[in-house]
Structure 1
Amino acid sequence: MKTSRITSAALLATTALLSACAQLPTGGSSAPLALGDTARGELTSNSPVNLKDGSRYQTFRLTLAADEVVRLTLAGALQGELSLHGPAGDFIGSSLGRPGYGYRSDEVVLTRRADEAGTYVLAVSGGDSDAFGPFRVSAMKVETRQGGAVVPGDEITGWLDGATNRYTLTVEDAGLFHIAQRSHELDAYLKLAGDGIQTQDDDSGGGLDARISTVLSPGEYSIETGWAQTQASGSYTLSVQRLPLPTDDALQLGGELLSGAPVTGWAAGAPLDYQLAVTQLSSVVIDMRSAQIDSYLELSGAGIFFMDDDSGPGGRGLDARIEALLPPGEYQLQAADIGGEGGLFTLLAQVTPVNLPQRLRGLPVLRDGSRHEANLAQGQRDEYRLVIAHAGRYQLDMQSQALDAALTLYSADMGAADDDSGGGLDARLDLTLEAGEYLLVAQSYDDTGAGSYSLNIQRR
């Protein structure tokens, strides 16, 4: 039987190589870091090397009690990351170089809970092989609450570990409430229930943070904090803020909208639904203005649909305006905050009746069998007087290679619209018309296109 012999020098070299590859940090070679303290360090070309990516690192040891939550913060010139290892050298977690919510943008934060008492090792690593420089690292004990009562003005820290946490909120005076769950470790997911309200949110707080902004009446409410994706363990902050309500007669969170009567609403999360009644063919202008949110409007009804984001006259460029010619009918108006910020807005509808014969005066005339070629300017709508000599079924086509065509037909008591029924991006109206004169409007969808188009009028 053959045997192999390994010299002492070779054995030492092999052991050193394996140790360097594993690089499990040990407490004995680490600088001390106590809870509540800040330590300073610097990564240089003489610092140990992470063989994985060539970055440098320095370690610190800190003693934690079982179930103690610690927030570790890295700041300074170094572009780096934090990682924490348990008493047995096992990997606990890493900051991945992400700034933490609520801290300076040049700080990196790692928050973890100790599963057992013992000495933990914190590693400060450069972001890459070229990252060097001085840094500060601090450790702070965090008091967490996984449930109980919260009141307006509270901002508490909680810890999730595979199960949601529930808090109770007692509202004594009605108000506008911001309830936010923020985390630098989790994709926050927030639920609110009580007094006929049941709502939830994932990312309205910006990034992966959750926020519910709504009006709450006096009563008892349940707040549930959770997570939206696979990461189910980590810290978060839960804050509750109350803002005073406007006067009771000014706040209208949906319902009937009357011409010339401005209303104040609160947009957050789901759109608010308003109803607008138009009794005769009218020119309608609806403005949604706010100093706090990015306004958004959608209007639908009588086969017609309009939407707008930023066409309002406000100086911020974030107000919404819909200008439309509407036939008689009941219309649904949705007012929303497209930016997800949540806040107050004012809504005003102005409905002005239109004299159709007067509106048709001087417009280009189209008849049965007409074929008309034209060019649509950016943001414009072309109007025509359509003369129907005999009642019957008619097909009206708008075709274009340059724009997304849209057609709307009006009489004194009806309206019809179409976008893509002509195939592709062409518009087609196929309907029965009585003898008379109509207003035909040719435009691009959302008023965003321009270019040449053709109109064809045929009796079927």
Structure 2
Amino acid sequence: MAKTSSLTLLIVAVGGVAVGYFAAQTLPNLAPPAEAPDAETTAEQDTTPAALQGLEYLTLGERARGEITSASELNGKDGSRFTRYAITLDEEALVEVSLSGALQGTVALYDDQLQLLANADTVRHRIEENGDYIVVISGADAHSYGPFNVNSRTIELSDADTMTVGTPIDSWLDTTEREITLTIEEAGMYQIEMRADEFDAYLELEGPNDYYREDDDSAGELNARIADFLAPGEYTLTARSAFGDGSGLFTLTAEPHELPGNGELRNDGTVTPNETLSGWYSGQDVTYDLEIDQAGMYQIDMSSSDVDAYLVLEGPNGYYREDDDSAGELNARIADFLAPGTYQLTARTAYGTDSGLFTLAIEPRDLPNDVELRNEGALTPDETLNGWYSGEALTYQLTIEESSLVTLSMSSNDFDTYLELYGEGVSYTDDDSGGGTNARLEQALLPGTYTVSARGFSASGSGMFELAVSAEPTEMQPDT
């Protein structure tokens, strides 16, 4: 490789990825003259490119540990910090450099002329020439610090048509799909992933008793993942690109999927308040009988890091509730007042095509001290009350004795509130004027009786709310 001129190395970032370039720089010689190096040291420095001098060397195939701190080199463009290593690589080698550990960061690979060869969370690159290269580990942004491991390896491409659990396969997809036989020795939970940087990975899995699953992007970005309970037997894995025209390197892995807690799964049966269980969704609704012995407020949560959780609750007297994301992120929550009886609780996913582990928790929900719920009746000016919304609008009657500027405020920590005010020939609505997801109406009203409707913006929301009303006499004529 060509030798580098004696210039100063600067690293900048574009979109959080380290990119290097040289800039000539003249520094005043403020220090006393150093002792002349011996001939051997001088000869070694003469043959080492300037960009590599002083760098710690990584050994291909071995893990190295490091840390990005406030003392690490500074990227002047975005404020992130970085550190550099040298690594010796052989011509025609297909290498992978990846990060693990607490640091949220990226990897960049340069030649000794500081030409950027690749940058990504995990770099894979075919080396064109023997020599020394530079690996740059950079924080994702100005707030990214922490310890990390640098993992490097030579990728040996495989043409095998069989694989076993725990043994990954690195191979090359050449537009046509690859079929690989996977042998499962013991029944259990398994996670199969196909990862690729150059195309949109797609997996299909077929097995005993007409088993079939497929996936596109469940592993994040454009990577595929199938996580499911597999019986012993031989399965056919079809690895391809999502649209059938992609090609490039891919890695296929099959690993046991650990279960939380005691490792037990319950996909049916009776559940009761104060109970938490783990279940597995694999394309079919998972149903339980929920027994409620005492009327009260209850909260049911379904959480998962594998699937987009979705809950359906059906019960006596036509009761029906469903929810997708009320527990935050992709987790579902139903919080409601439940009468005694048997309810059917269904755990599934929002789209029905995912699979994975979920946790179901049913807990009684205590009301704050001195809180009474009023879900109907008369409102009077300067009154504040609490109610419970469970999918159906709650209506109250407001009587105004004299022309007044009336303010209605509805707030909740559980759902997106919505107010309607109508009567005496007028109608007003509001969603978020109270700040956040809280509703607020302020209107001049003539004397008369009005209906106040308190509900959620969506019928799927539920929870406790506070409704406050105030009225100030005014000479203003209301808008009609």
- TM-score bracket, shorter-length normalisation: 0.5 to 0.7
CA 1:133–1:172 in structure 2 vs 1: closer, same or farther (change >3 Å)?
same
Whole-angstrom distance in 2 between the partners of 1:153 and 1:105: 35
- Give runs of aligned pairs for residues 206-245 of structure 1, distance below 5 A: 211-216=333-338, 219-225=340-346, 237=358, 239-242=360-363, 243-245=365-367
Partners of 1:171 and 1:216 within 8 A in 2: no
By how many angstroms is 1:93 displaced?
Answer: 1.4
Partners of 1:73 and 1:107 within 8 A in 2: no
- Give runs of aligned pairs for residues 114-125 of structure 1, distance below 5 A: 117-125=232-240
Partners of 2:281 and 2:348 within 8 A in 1: no
By how many angstroms is 1:222 displaced?
Answer: 1.6
Hey, what does 2:103 align to over in structure 1?
none
CA 1:160–1:192 in structure 2 vs 1: closer, same or farther (change >3 Å)?
farther
The amino acid that maps onto 1:169 is: E
The amino acid that maps onto 2:319 is: Q
Q: Does residue 193 of the first structure (1) align with residue 315 of the second (2)?
A: yes
Q: Does residue 256 of the first structure (1) align with residue 378 of the second (2)?
A: yes
Partners of 1:75 and 1:137 within 8 A in 2: no
Whole-angstrom distance in 2 between the partners of 1:109 and 1:269: 36
Which whole-Å deviations, capped at 9, do the CAs of 1:226-273 have from their partners, x for residues lacking one? 779996996673623434322353443444333222223344533333
Q: Which consecutive residues of structure 1, in runs of 5 or more, have no partner in the other structure?
A: 1-27, 360-438, 443-460
Hey, what does 2:409 align to over in structure 1?
287
* TM-score, reference length from structure 2: 0.52
Whole-angstrom distance in 2 between the partners of 1:262 and 1:72: 53
CA 1:84–1:147 in structure 2 vs 1: closer, same or farther (change >3 Å)?
same
Which whole-Å deviations, capped at 9, do the CAs of 1:184-228 have from their partners, x for residues lacking one? 77994612314x6712326465899764221336x3432331779
Partners of 2:384 and 2:468 within 8 A in 1: yes
Hey, what does 2:205 align to over in structure 1?
84
CA 1:304–1:228 in structure 2 vs 1: closer, same or farther (change >3 Å)?
farther
Deviates more, 1:288-297 or 1:156-165: 156-165
The amino acid that maps onto 1:110 is: I
CA 1:121–1:133 in structure 2 vs 1: closer, same or farther (change >3 Å)?
closer
Whole-angstrom distance in 1 between the partners of 2:349 and 2:300: 20
Hey, what does 1:265 align to over in structure 2?
387
Hey, what does 1:448 align to over in structure 2?
none
Whole-angstrom distance in 1 between the partners of 2:236 and 2:334: 38
**Percent of aligned positions with the same letter in both sequences?**
19
Q: Does residue 40 of the first structure (1) align with residue 168 of the second (2)?
A: yes
Whole-angstrom distance in 2 between the partners of 1:164 and 1:135: 29
CA 1:251–1:71 in structure 2 vs 1: closer, same or farther (change >3 Å)?
farther
Matched length: 310
Which whole-Å deviations, capped at 9, do the CAs of 1:264-291 have from their partners, x for residues lacking one? 3344533333332333433211012234
By how many angstroms is 1:145 displaced?
Answer: 1.9
Whole-angstrom distance in 1 between the partners of 2:290 and 2:413: 32
Hey, what does 2:256 align to over in structure 1?
139
Hey, what does 2:452 align to over in structure 1?
332
Which of the residues 158, 174, 183 maps onto 1:62? Answer: 183
* TM-score, reference length from structure 1: 0.54
Partners of 1:282 and 1:351 within 8 A in 2: yes
Q: Does residue 110 of the first structure (1) align with residue 231 of the second (2)?
A: no
By how many angstroms is 1:170 displaced?
Answer: 3.7
- Give runs of aligned pairs for residues 380-391 of structure 1, distance below 5 A: none
Whole-angstrom distance in 2 between the partners of 1:29 and 1:249: 66
CA 1:260–1:187 in structure 2 vs 1: closer, same or farther (change >3 Å)?
same
2:274 partner SS: coil
Partners of 1:189 and 1:209 within 8 A in 2: no
Which of the residues 156, 176, 191 maps onto 1:72? Answer: 191
Whole-angstrom distance in 2 between the partners of 1:237 and 1:270: 29
Whole-angstrom distance in 2 between the partners of 1:150 and 1:124: 43
2:479 partner SS: strand
Which whole-Å deviations, capped at 9, do the CAs of 1:290-324 have from their partners, x for residues lacking one? 34543221222233211111212x4xx33211112
Hey, what does 1:382 align to over in structure 2?
none
Whole-angstrom distance in 1 between the partners of 2:401 and 2:386: 24
Whole-angstrom distance in 2 between the partners of 1:181 and 1:261: 38
- Give runs of aligned pairs for residues 153-168 of structure 1, distance below 5 A: 153-159=275-281, 165-168=287-290
Q: Which consecutive residues of structure 2, in runs of 5 or more, have no partner in the other structure?
A: 1-159, 260-264
Partners of 1:275 and 1:330 within 8 A in 2: yes
Hey, what does 2:163 align to over in structure 1?
31
Q: Does residue 350 of the first structure (1) align with residue 465 of the second (2)?
A: no
By how many angstroms is 1:339 displaced?
Answer: 9.3
Whole-angstrom distance in 2 between the partners of 1:183 and 1:72: 13
By how many angstroms is 1:113 displaced?
Answer: 5.2
Partners of 1:77 and 1:135 within 8 A in 2: no
Partners of 2:299 and 2:333 within 8 A in 1: no
Which whole-Å deviations, capped at 9, do the CAs of 1:302-357 have from their partners, x for residues lacking one? 33211111212x4xx33211112223014132232549564443221112334xxx
CA 1:299–1:162 in structure 2 vs 1: closer, same or farther (change >3 Å)?
same
- Give runs of aligned pairs for residues 399-414 of structure 1, distance below 5 A: none
Whole-angstrom distance in 1 between the partners of 2:381 and 2:192: 56
Whole-angstrom distance in 2 between the partners of 1:31 and 1:251: 61
CA 1:344–1:231 in structure 2 vs 1: closer, same or farther (change >3 Å)?
closer
CA 1:126–1:176 in structure 2 vs 1: closer, same or farther (change >3 Å)?
same
Partners of 1:162 and 1:232 within 8 A in 2: no
Alignment root-mean-square deviation, CA: 4.4
Partners of 1:272 and 1:336 within 8 A in 2: no
Which of the residues 412, 415, 433 maps onto 1:311? Answer: 433
1:146 partner SS: coil
Partners of 1:271 and 1:335 within 8 A in 2: yes
Whole-angstrom distance in 2 between the partners of 1:250 and 1:107: 51
Hey, what does 2:176 align to over in structure 1?
51
The amino acid that maps onto 1:121 is: T
CA 1:92–1:246 in structure 2 vs 1: closer, same or farther (change >3 Å)?
same
CA 1:309–1:93 in structure 2 vs 1: closer, same or farther (change >3 Å)?
same
